[in-house]
Structure 1
Amino acid sequence: MPLQTRKYQIGRVSHTLAMCTSEEADLLRLEEVFSTTLDRIISLILKPLLSADPEPSDPCGKECLRLLQQLHDSAQRLWDVTEQSLLSLRQRLYHPSSLDLEAVLLLRDADLVLQTHVEYIKSYTDCVVVQDFQKVSGKKSEFWRSQYKAVWQLLSPASSQYQDLHQPLADHVQKYALLLQSLRDTLDENHPAQELVMRAVTLFKNLQSFMRQALDQAQATQALWQTLSSRLRGVLCVPTHRLLQDSQDIPVVVSPMRAERVLLFDDALVLLQGHNVHTFDLKLVWVDPGQDKHVLHILTPEDEFSFCTRDHQSQDEWQWKVTQAVCQALCGKKDFPVLGSDRKLSVPPECRQVTCAYTFRREGRLCQATYEGEWCRAKPHGRGTLKWRNGQNHSGDFCQGLEHGFGVRLVPQASEDKFDCYKCHWREGKMCEYGICEYGTGKVYEGYFQAGLRHGFGILHSAPQAPQPFTYTGHWERGQRSGYGIEERNSGERYIGMWKADQRHGPGVMITQAGIYQGTFHEDKMAGPGILLCDDDSLYEGTFTRDLRLLGKGKVTFPSGFTLEGSFSNGTDQGLRVQGVLDRAAHPPDSSSPGKRQLGLGAFPVENRWQGVYSPFRDFVRLGCPGEMQEALLGFPGQSSKKLHKSQEYVCDERSHPEDCVGSMEDILKELLKYREPEALKQYLEKALGNSRHPLGKLFCTLMLTLKATYSGMGSNKHLQEMAKEEVKQHACELWAAYRGLLKVALQHQGQTLEEESMETRDLHVHEVLLPLILPKFYSELFTLYLLLHEREDGLYSGGINNLSLFSDANLLEFLDVQEHLWPLKDLKLTSDQRYSLVQNNCFLSATECLQKIVTTMNAPGKLKVLEKTYGEIEATVSRALGREYKLPMDDLLPLLIYVVSRAQIQHLGAEIHFMRDMMDPAHTGGLHGFLLTALESSYEHIKKEDMTGHRLLSHRDA
């Protein structure tokens, strides 16, 4: 290189350095020296140590190798960060225009530099604590003799070789703090890097204190091992321990455990009794100053003892040390810059959300069980998991050492890979309130518990593959079926009635393939008199055997009205034998005939049937609708499919799907107050009842389960129609009462009161608001019963419809004596010549199509409105035919309505009429709806009779 060029470059570098402070140049040189030192430590000491014996066979050698590897890795990371810092300083010094001072790594990422230093000193002190270097030195003395010169040049002559590997780091950090302090003094107060430099100075000064403390603790811990027996040393000598206090320095007396020596480490409290070692995890240690002077109370999961000191100063010292150590253990790292440097007493929380594991040793229900979770005052408290050695485990909420709140418990069965899974709410260690249990046998119970037993309303399903599958829906008492309940078996049998001690006991109804029985059961068998209704509407009234066979005195009433009264018996091979009197005086069937007989009404008062469903909601309202108890008290229906399917799913705070979310209970109550006007209330209740996350929706879904269990499927029986009808009405009343209960609580939260509601007002709301909303959900089961009950009548009606359908419109209108001027010929745009050749089913078409909508409407008020619109369409059609407004009198309306009904051809009109009559508001009986329904009934009866007089119509048609 030409001399002039070289002089120019040297001059440019000198000019660049002149733009930076001398402290920055000193930092650069400091980093260069430290980087070289670290590189030599790694290459001359750590790597040779690791490669000298890469695969030791003894456990001690493996542990030594692990610690050395840890020290090597932390030294390598420290070297990498030092190189990055060096690079940023070079860029700053040689290209100051491209890098501002605050972008230098030491200032920009001071925390990163600090952390790598902390990791190195921790790895180094781990080796010191377990005397790793001494062990390595003894095994590799030849190696150290060969490396002595290089190590001597690396460290100071006074160093003890590898034991002073921390010294270059300590010197380096000290120089960091001094140079950064000088750099801060040279900067202007408004310099952008001023705050960063001040922070870096503080961090590295703190690091100096931390390093001194860490080394002192490591050396004190190393010295401790020499005072212990080899057996105790083998138990306690682990690299993570750091001695904080020794009772030989500040004596304490431990009672009642009478420990000979107390050692406080940074992660454990240790009591020594001869060769016995009692170790307590500091995360599970609570410290209370005693009421007596110089006493500290120590609380742990299974042990409680006291430290008695000689004076108040000793008590303060132990209390401060133990308390700070507990705080440090809970944080998961040492206090920085130094443990309790400000001597302020930190107070660890009583309730600790840090997950800690502990295995119980004492005899009792938790013996050998391991709890991992949150704690409070040395007891499981909060969320956690409890595992027993036999495979049983419980995950959920705990309170003061007991399962309390929602939890999932798995209990292994004798057979392999099968568990009983209890997904329940718990109170004081017992299952309580709502839960779902999936048994290893395949059975599933969903319902309420009390003191660990099924109690209240619940549903029990057998395994689908069981020899005799069944489902029980009903009430329980202390683990047994008791009260009102329904049991259904896959064979088609269904029992509806009372239970006691897990047996059918009391009044009951039994539905079998032979018919439907009603009587009194005793200890699972029928006892005393009863009745049997067969599918052909034959009725037996008398006594039965315990297995439901006819035996003894009885009476049979046949559908024809004949009766047979006498003694009945079942021969072994001869079938049923009867000795009695046959009364041939037939009586025509009427509404009181066996086919119309309704069962269960007096035996099971409707207000008493489902108290186990209503009661939890009443309790919920009585307690003020607490949000935390909503699921426990109103758990139904079927959360197992959504939020309780997996045993650990409870840990998710958001259990519901977004589309199901209705907000907190407080939000629900606030929203309730916004919708009190009639139309707004209807919309709100419709939304609430349709949402299974809403309290009203939960209650409604549970009521739907009970109705389906009682009246749907193969066990559906026409003789239960009246029972189902009154049950639906009762549900509507209870739902309205539930809404009023929620409204009362919502008003109380606002400091208001709810006015009492009269019986008339309640009935009005039930029929006009609730019934139209809930009937569509109950419609399938309820209307099926109406169809079965009125099947014979509707059969006659269908025959009449078929006969009437054979005639043209003109013939039918004429036959029905509809006055000719009311015929809507203009609507059909017919000429006078076409008068007697009308196209069939085009007359009164709008009214016919309107009436057909009655089939697709699933509540009584809606059906009545359809009927009202049909009436309006008939009047409108007649008014157009007359060219003026015309109000139809009953004499004119009835034949026209018969015509429309015959053309609408509604298949089960009798069932529809009885459904509307039963479910309509009683207040409307004398109004327009009552009048129209009476007219529709008259039309139905007229058409039903036409089946027997069809020949008259045929002859009229021929004429």
Structure 2
Amino acid sequence: MCSLEEEALLRLEEVFSATLARVNSLVLLPLLETTPEPSDPQGRECLRLLQRLHRSSQRLWEVTEESLHSLRERLCHQDTVGLESLLLLQHAERIVQVHVEYIESYTSCVVVQAFQKAAKKRREFWRGQRKALWQLLPGVSSEASVGTALAQALREPLAHHVQQYVLLLLSLGDTAAELHRTRELVVHAATLFGNLQSFLRQALDQALATQALWHSLSSRLRDVLCTPARRLLQDSQDVPVTVAPLRAERVLLFDDALVLLQGHSVHTFDLKLVWVDPGQDGCTFHLLTPEEELSFCSKAPQDRVVWQWKVTQAVCQALRGKKDFPVLEADLEPSEPPTCRCMAYTFRAEGRLCQATYEGEWCRGRPHGSWESRGPESRRALPRGTLKWPDGRNHVGNFCQGLEHGFGIRLVPQGPEDRFDCYKCHWREGRMCGYGICEYGTDEVYKGYFQAGLRHGFGVLASAPRAPQPCKYTGHWERGQRSGYGVEEDSARGERYIGMWQADQRHGPGVMVTQAGVCYQGTFQADKMVGPGILLSEDDSLYEGTFTRDLTLVGKGKVTFPNGFTLEGSFSSGAGKGLHTQGVLDTAAFPPDPSSTRKRQLGVGAFPVESHWQGVYGPFRDFVSAGCPGDEQEALLGFHVQNSRELRKSQEYLCCERTQPEPCADRMEGILDELLLHREPRALRECLRKALSNSLHPLGKLLRMLMLTFQATYAGIGANKHLQALAQEEVKQHARELWAAYRGLLQVALQRKGQAPEEDEDTETRDLQVHGLVLPLMLPSFYSELFTLYLLLHEMEDSLYSQGIANLSLFPDTKLLEFLDVQKHLWPLKDLTLTTNQRLSLVRNKCFLSATECLQKIITTVDPREKLEVLERTYGEIEATVSRVLGREHKLPMDDLLPLLIYVVSRARIQHLGAEIHLIRDMMDPIHTGGLCDFLLTALESCYEHIQKEDMRLHRFAGRWDPREPW
């Protein structure tokens, strides 16, 4: 049987549906039909609000009809249909939401007095409708205005209907069946409509208070502040409060903004960017905004509580994007708004951010957000903070307390040709600091370190390859200027300067290398060479004396020619007149050793190799001494970033899609753990090899920066034989620094694990590790440029050697063994297998074949240690062959070994053997000094020199030898 409450609900829905239909026909439709399209903005706004109210009323009528239909179905089929089938219970949230939309539409009309304005425009029409209108509202006084009557006609039926809903649902809950699910639905619906009743009452109060506020303000302020959706929450005229430092005359808290009125000035603060900071005393609290910090003070503590509570609630509501339901609870404990928010804001105050728009994360009134601190999902959804200025500047990156801090990219427009300066840098407190890459609109590119927004530390500045005057500087910077040790390459003039700089000019000791092979060394001042210096020509002629500022010989000097002659006197030159000299030519001096003449080297004594690249070593030392913080790894050691210039102005580029497989802190922790696990010699070698080959490892990054400096100094124009010693010493210094870097990382790893640090190494132990472990691992990175210098330095020797090899290759094996005075009982003739019509005297490249093939492997490696091992195995193959020939084990004395080794070397035909020998000698581990490897290398050097001097003997021997003569 149907309950009385259900029948009452049915009658209530029927009456409300009929009332809505009457209100629609008697009020809403006439309002819309009798309101012509106005020409003023306010009139158009009122019409838009009335149209919105009409649509809300239609949806409210439709949902009432649906509820009525479900009630009738229940009454007709009460035996089969349960109470929970009622739309009022099953979809209570949707029904309440429709009511809320109607209430919001209605209150917006109330705020701007849309009913009064509409009635005023068609006063005569509504006078004729007075009787019908008053029939809807029997309780309304006939003295009420038409506008008031219209407002009540659209409000009172709804208020009465919601009140009856609450009463009937509460009664239905008491009489409902004991089914738990049904009772839950009824109680839930009663609660929702109870809150709706409270919401309606509070929304009407706010709308009336807001309407009264607009009447109290001047028309200018009303035009600035009035919007239909805005509601007044608190007025300082009702609850007094003062605000510093603005000293506002009146404070208005709306549901979307805080407004301070100060004379004719209006200060508006978006609540989404307002943070409430409780004060220390009972009468003050603070509001933090992007550009102001406001102090709210009241004489009574309870007034401060009201303002703080209402502001906090309003901020929460603004961030949620919808009004609270109900609007304000009776509980005085508001929910806490989040400290971090993502919003957009345009700065107005004068300063560097004036008119700039920031979009991104905020914290306590300041842009604040870090890419690394977010998870993978938020990284994809929310890039980072973005700053955009009206002049076209853009900055995307990390922020800390309102300043650019961490990695960021900035685009700065340059000129009207749509060209940009692009800065991909690390920032600290708003200025570039740490490693960065800057691509300028002039097509110049700088890669290096910054400090306080200026180039500072190591960096490379290169012009475009096709620039009219291409130039590249690799070296140290101070406060934006080239200072300290650096290398500049001027491709247009075909010159490279290696040396000291000061205030963007060459200043101090330096070396100038030209493309023509001429080298200068001396002291530079204000970009010019002054005082005494050295000039070395490509043919090894040496000038020692003074120069003019344009590097021409002038004054007293001395020239030493390659043949040992010297010319000492006074030199001068004029335009187009060549070089003039008055002096003494000495031809009586003994000819110098040609090898010593060719090995004159520059730069070694001018500036210590330890001071060359402190701008590279320094940041790494600072990084290690700071404990290897992961968040500073990129700023100190460089980073990886997309390097496509076509993407410079695209959004993908601004979002900076860098290759970052894992957070830096986690990666650094793994690197340090790896070092602790591999400390045994064999494991350490493999660990260092992997580290140096990994561009993301600190040691790998350091090695690549050192490679860059080495190529900038010794490749191209800098490939000059007179720089070989300087390059060799620089490579060894890099090996020492890399070992020190490894030791520093290891100490940090031990410290993090709470283990005792290792004791400092003595010099001998350090040198053994450097030459035996680090140098072989890092040498391949420098080998190409370094070996080129050895080739140039020993070019003449290698040319004589090649000619000697060519002459010796004319001999068959037996004749060559005879020529080299190899004892005949050592000849491996029994190893030779003759074919038809072949004689022993004509066999080539068969004797000591295993030793020859072994020696040829010396060019397959760059490691000096492995080259010495090849030489040692070659010696072993020679002895093994001799022992087989003699039928017993035999140790070769030097007199027997040397001619056999010459034979093997001549048959191996190794190109540039002189360069190979000297590189091995210079770079080998000192532990081999005085041992077998040293002895064999000395023997190889003797073979090399012997082959160079065999030319005349070969011709005499060849004249006595007839190839047709049988052995």
Deviation per CA, 1:293-334: give whole Å up to 9, x if none: 534444444444444434222222122112222233334433
Q: 1:478 to 1:83 in 2, by over 3 A?
A: farther
Structure 1 segment 61-72 matched on structure 2, within 5 A: 61-64=43-46, 66-67=48-49
Could you tell me how far 1:470 is from its partner in structure 2? Answer: 0.8
Structure 1 segment 499-578 matched on structure 2, within 5 A: 499-514=501-516, 515-578=518-581
Q: 1:90 to 1:751 in 2, by over 3 A?
A: farther
Structure 1 segment 394-793 matched on structure 2, within 5 A: 394-491=395-492, 492-514=494-516, 515-585=518-588, 587-590=590-593, 593-635=596-638, 655-658=658-661, 663-756=666-759, 757-793=761-797
Q: 1:66 to 1:579 in 2, by over 3 A?
A: farther
Give me the whole-angstrom Cα distance separating, in 1, the residues matched to 2:86 and 2:831. Answer: 95
Specify which of 60, 64, 69 is matched with residue 42 of structure 2: 60
- Tell whether the 8 Å contact from 1:84 to 1:105 is kept in structure 2 after alignment: yes
Q: 1:956 to 1:369 in 2, by over 3 A?
A: same
Could you tell me how far 1:609 is from its partner in structure 2? Answer: 0.9
Could you tell me how far 1:226 is from its partner in structure 2? Answer: 1.6
Give me the whole-angstrom Cα distance separating, in 1, the residues matched to 2:565 and 2:747. Answer: 58
- Tell whether the 8 Å contact from 2:814 to 2:841 is kept in structure 1 after alignment: yes
Deviation per CA, 1:607-650: give whole Å up to 9, x if none: 11111111111111111111111122222687756999678779
Specify which of 848, 857, 860 is matched with residue 856 of structure 1: 860
Give me the whole-angstrom Cα distance separating, in 2, the residues matched to 1:509 and 1:741. Answer: 34
- Tell whether the 8 Å contact from 2:259 to 2:267 is kept in structure 1 after alignment: yes
Secondary structure, counterpart of 1:693 in structure 2 = coil
Task: Please report the TM-score for the alignment, with normalisation by the length of structure 2.
Answer: 0.85
- Tell whether the 8 Å contact from 1:851 to 1:867 is kept in structure 2 after alignment: yes
Instruction: Between 21-30 and 113-122, report the one with greater CA deviation.
Output: 21-30
Amino acid at match of 2:567: L
Q: 1:920 to 1:548 in 2, by over 3 A?
A: same
Secondary structure, counterpart of 2:677 in structure 1 = coil
Deviation per CA, 1:916-940: give whole Å up to 9, x if none: 1111111112233323322322222
Could you tell me how far 1:602 is from its partner in structure 2? Answer: 1.0
Could you tell me how far 1:860 is from its partner in structure 2? Answer: 1.9
Instruction: Between 288-297 and 860-869, report the one with greater CA deviation.
Output: 288-297
Q: 1:568 to 1:321 in 2, by over 3 A?
A: same
Amino acid at match of 1:360: R
Give me the whole-angstrom Cα distance separating, in 2, the residues matched to 1:722 and 1:951. Answer: 37
What's 2:345 paired with?
357
Specify which of 925, 935, 939 is matched with residue 939 of structure 2: 935
Give me the whole-angstrom Cα distance separating, in 2, the residues matched to 1:728 and 1:863. Answer: 18
Give me the whole-angstrom Cα distance separating, in 2, the residues matched to 1:762 and 1:89. Answer: 94
Give me the whole-angstrom Cα distance separating, in 2, the residues matched to 1:689 and 1:698. Answer: 8
What's 2:301 paired with?
312
- Tell whether the 8 Å contact from 1:660 to 1:692 is kept in structure 2 after alignment: no
Amino acid at match of 1:428: E
Give me the whole-angstrom Cα distance separating, in 2, the residues matched to 1:229 and 1:112. Answer: 41
Could you tell me how far 1:821 is from its partner in structure 2? Answer: 5.1
Could you tell me how far 1:535 is from its partner in structure 2? Answer: 1.5
Task: Please report the TM-score for the alignment, with normalisation by the length of structure 1.
Answer: 0.86
Q: 1:291 to 1:809 in 2, by over 3 A?
A: same
Secondary structure, counterpart of 2:443 in structure 1 = coil
Instruction: Between 793-802 and 752-761, report the one with greater CA deviation.
Output: 752-761
**Two-structure CA RMSD over aligned residues (Å):** 4.3
- Tell whether the 8 Å contact from 2:641 to 2:657 is kept in structure 1 after alignment: no
Consecutive unaligned residues of structure 2, counting only runs of 5 or more, are 141-147, 370-383
Specify which of 900, 906, 910 is matched with residue 902 of structure 1: 906
What's 2:207 paired with?
218
Instruction: Between 376-385 and 591-600, report the one with greater CA deviation.
Output: 376-385
Whether 1:914 aligns to 2:896 is no
Consecutive unaligned residues of structure 1, counting only runs of 5 or more, are 1-17
Deviation per CA, 1:845-887: give whole Å up to 9, x if none: 4443333333232232232333334344444555555666655
Could you tell me how far 1:555 is from its partner in structure 2? Answer: 1.7
Specify which of 206, 227, 234 is matched with residue 223 of structure 2: 234
Secondary structure, counterpart of 2:216 in structure 1 = coil
Q: 1:533 to 1:639 in 2, by over 3 A?
A: farther
Give me the whole-angstrom Cα distance separating, in 1, the residues matched to 2:691 and 2:485. Answer: 28
Instruction: Between 74-83 and 707-716, report the one with greater CA deviation.
Output: 74-83
Identity %: 71
What's 1:6 paired with?
none
- Tell whether the 8 Å contact from 1:434 to 1:449 is kept in structure 2 after alignment: yes
Amino acid at match of 1:276: S
Q: 1:591 to 1:90 in 2, by over 3 A?
A: farther
Amino acid at match of 2:444: K
Could you tell me how far 1:523 is from its partner in structure 2? Answer: 1.0
Give me the whole-angstrom Cα distance separating, in 1, the residues matched to 2:846 and 2:289. Answer: 91
Instruction: Between 120-129 and 929-938, report the one with greater CA deviation.
Output: 120-129
Secondary structure, counterpart of 1:601 in structure 2 = coil
Secondary structure, counterpart of 2:782 in structure 1 = helix
Q: 1:444 to 1:662 in 2, by over 3 A?
A: same
Deviation per CA, 1:174-215: give whole Å up to 9, x if none: 677677764798466665x87777666655544444444334
Amino acid at match of 1:277: V
Amino acid at match of 2:472: T
Could you tell me how far 1:277 is from its partner in structure 2? Answer: 1.8
Deviation per CA, 1:87-126: give whole Å up to 9, x if none: 9999999999999999998888876666665555444444
Secondary structure, counterpart of 2:457 in structure 1 = strand
- Tell whether the 8 Å contact from 1:637 to 1:701 is kept in structure 2 after alignment: no
Give me the whole-angstrom Cα distance separating, in 2, the residues matched to 1:724 and 1:537. Answer: 19
- Tell whether the 8 Å contact from 1:696 to 1:738 is kept in structure 2 after alignment: yes
What's 1:130 paired with?
112
Could you tell me how far 1:271 is from its partner in structure 2? Answer: 1.8
Give me the whole-angstrom Cα distance separating, in 2, the residues matched to 1:940 and 1:549. Answer: 40
- Tell whether the 8 Å contact from 2:543 to 2:558 is kept in structure 1 after alignment: yes
Deviation per CA, 1:903-957: give whole Å up to 9, x if none: 2222111111111111111111223332332232222222222345431453365
Structure 1 segment 388-399 matched on structure 2, within 5 A: 388-399=389-400
Could you tell me how far 1:252 is from its partner in structure 2? Answer: 2.6
Amino acid at match of 1:471: K
Secondary structure, counterpart of 1:442 in structure 2 = coil
Could you tell me how far 1:483 is from its partner in structure 2? Answer: 0.7
Q: 1:818 to 1:434 in 2, by over 3 A?
A: same
Q: 1:412 to 1:644 in 2, by over 3 A?
A: closer
Give me the whole-angstrom Cα distance separating, in 1, the residues matched to 2:416 and 2:832. Answer: 79
Secondary structure, counterpart of 2:844 in structure 1 = coil
Amino acid at match of 1:427: R
Count, aligned residues: 938
What's 1:7 paired with?
none
Deviation per CA, 1:196-253: give whole Å up to 9, x if none: 7766665554444444433432332123212222111111101332110112222234
Secondary structure, counterpart of 1:607 in structure 2 = helix
- Tell whether the 8 Å contact from 2:515 to 2:717 is kept in structure 1 after alignment: no
Q: 1:902 to 1:250 in 2, by over 3 A?
A: same
Could you tell me how far 1:410 is from its partner in structure 2? Answer: 3.5
